[in-house]
Amino acid sequence: VALAALGFAWSACAQSSRDSLAREIGNSGAKAGKSFIDLSIGKSAYGTSCGNVAGLTCSRGTTSYSLTGGNMITENLGIELSAMNLGKADRAGGSVIARGINLSAVGRLPLGERFALEGKIGPTYGVTRVSAPPVAGLASGRAQGLGLGYGVALDVNVARGVHGSIGWEQHDFHFVGQGRSAVRNVTLALGYTF
């Protein structure tokens, strides 16, 4: 879906005859050369195994936070850098934590005067920590590595320079004893374009 959104944005960028209303996106949306910063909160879901020991707690979901800054190179294509804390989830009597930095290409497809569909894709460098009691039979420790991150979002211009969005994203992380596993994240963001 993210690749499709980037493809649509690339096509939209090539059309030089777009009307001025769509270009302005409500006078407060993304324009060529404009920078933006977003703060988001969300609900992440870990794909890691919980083991099979009865009585040990396991919750795959937790609260996530991220800070993102970027620049629109054109009105439809940009680049962004995100620092993410995907929270701490219970795992078989212990916990699992994932944090990372993501660098993504961003595609933006205007949907009228105030809305836009955004897609992003790029590498995520992640650091994870897993802890579990010995009875769980699960490996514990710290891991790090590079994976793929991608996502989509619906962006809405709230006021001049201020925008909000609801989005979904997935990032691949390396976990001790698990190998590579996905962490999915649903986000609500508030941002400012300058």
Tens of each residue's pLDDT in the chain, 194 residues: 555 555 555 555 555 444 443 444 344 456 677 999 999 999 999 887 766 655 555 666 789 999 999 999 999 999 999 999 999 988 777 888 999 999 999 999 999 889 999 999 999 999 999 888 877 777 889 999 999 999 999 999 999 899 999 999 999 999 998 888 899 999 999 999 99
pLDDT (0 to 100) of residue 25: 39
**Rounded to whole angstroms, how far apart are CA atoms 72 and 164?**
16
Q: Which residues of the chain form beta strands (DSSP E)?
A: 35-46, 61-72, 77-91, 94-111, 115-131, 141-159, 162-175, 179-193
pLDDT number for residue 10:
54
In the prediction, which pLDDT does 17 show? 41
91's tokens:
């795992």
Strand bridging mode 115-131 / 179-193? unpaired
Determine phi and psi for 11, rounding to 5 degrees: -65, -40
- What is the CB neighbour count within 10 angstroms for residue 17? 4
Q: Is 81 exposed, middle or buried (0-12, 13-18, 19+ CB in 10 A)?
A: middle
What pLDDT was estimated at residue 31? 65
> Is the separation of the CB atoms in 187 and 85 below 8 Å?
no
Copy the structure tokens of residue 179. Answer: 């190998």
Interatomic CA distance for residues 80 and 66, integer angstroms: 12
Ranges of beta strands (E only) in 9-50 are 35-46
Q: pTM of the prediction?
A: 0.79
pLDDT at 13: 52
**How far apart (Å, rounded) are the C-alpha atoms in residues 26 and 17?**
18
